[in-house]
């Protein structure tokens, strides 16, 4: 049997849970569940990396009937609104970048300026200090975005990249 993880297939349990959450979210606002919304949710759940609207459109390449670009944009906005997706604004990227966040733990990002690779990290000490700093300022945090830009180990060690 293959030992390689097949990343294109979404975890069924996670997908089912995300779909349930999406249904409740839509119903609460008297919005409707459509075949396009289901299909887009399936595609974003199958993305193992960060992606943009165009890549979702591309994921429908082989299908005879595919959602329009407008519907994809509208649906990604809904999915971000109900926290199934996380939106990222990344320097050097002209489009909004999304990440499937349902059932995944919070994490921050390191972005390689040379190859564009996005590494994830979590650090409890930083999280704690952020909360303390907010407390000190009377600021009530909802979410945060921490991005460290630099050169990843592959570019630094193997390619000898020292700057961009």
Binds 3, which of a second copy, DNA, none (CB < 5 to 8 A, cut-off by type)? none
Based on the shown chain and the rule CB under 7 A, indicate whether residue 8 belongs to the binding site for DNA.
no
CB-based contact 110:116 (threshold 8 Å): no
Binder of residue 52, out of a second copy, DNA, none (CB less than 5 to 8 A by kind)? DNA
**Residue list 106-125, contact with a second copy (CB under 8 A):** 110, 112-113, 119, 121, 123, 125
- Among positions 66, 88, 107, 109, the unique one binding DNA when judged by CB under 7 A: 66
Q: Among residues 20, 69, 106, 129, which is the contact residue for a second copy, using CB under 8 A?
A: 129
Report the residue from 70, 136, 143, 160 that binds DNA according to the rule CB under 7 A. 70
Pair 48, 9: CB distance under 8 Å: no
Question: What is the gyration radius of the CA atoms in the chain, in angstroms?
Answer: 18
The length of the chain is: 164
Size of the site for DNA (CB under 7 A): 26
Cβ distance to DNA smaller for residue 91 or 162: 91
Beta bridge partner(s), residue 86: 99
* Burial category of 108 from C-beta neighbours within 10 Å (exposed 0-12, middle 13-18, buried 19 and up): middle
Which of residues 31, 133, 134, 148 is near DNA by CB under 7 A? 31
Residue whose entry in the numeric block shows the structure tokens 């008297």: 30
- The residue range among 23-31, 45-53, 61-69, 88-96 that interacts with a second copy, by the rule CB under 8 A, is 88-96
**What is the Cα–Cα distance from 97 to 101, expressed in whole angstroms?**
12
26/118 with CB nearer DNA: 26
Q: How far is CA 46 from CA 6, 20, 74, 104, 142, in A?
A: 10, 17, 19, 13, 27
Residue numbers of the site for DNA (CB under 7 A)? 26, 30-37, 52-54, 65-71, 73-75, 77, 94-96
């Amino acid at each position: 049997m293959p030992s390689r993880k097949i990343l294109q297939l979404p975890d069924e349990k996670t997908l089912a849970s995300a779909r349930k959450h999406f249904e409740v979210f839509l119903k609460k606002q008297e919005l409707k569940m459509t075949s396009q919304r289901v299909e887009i949710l399936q595609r974003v759940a199958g993305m193992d990396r960060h992606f943009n609207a165009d890549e979702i459109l591309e994921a429908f390449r082989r299908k005879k009937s595919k959602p329009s670009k407008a519907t994809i944009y509208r649906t990604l906005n809904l999915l971000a609104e109900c926290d199934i997706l996380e939106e990222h604004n990344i320097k050097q990227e002209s489009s909004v970048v999304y990440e499937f966040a349902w059932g995944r733990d919070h994490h921050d990002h390191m972005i390689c300026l040379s190859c564009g690779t996005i590494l994830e990290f979590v650090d409890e000490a930083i999280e704690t200090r952020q909360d303390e700093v907010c407390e000190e300022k009377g600021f009530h945090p909802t979410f945060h975005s921490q991005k460290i830009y630099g050169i990843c180990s592959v570019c630094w060690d193997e390619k000898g990249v020292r700057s961009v």
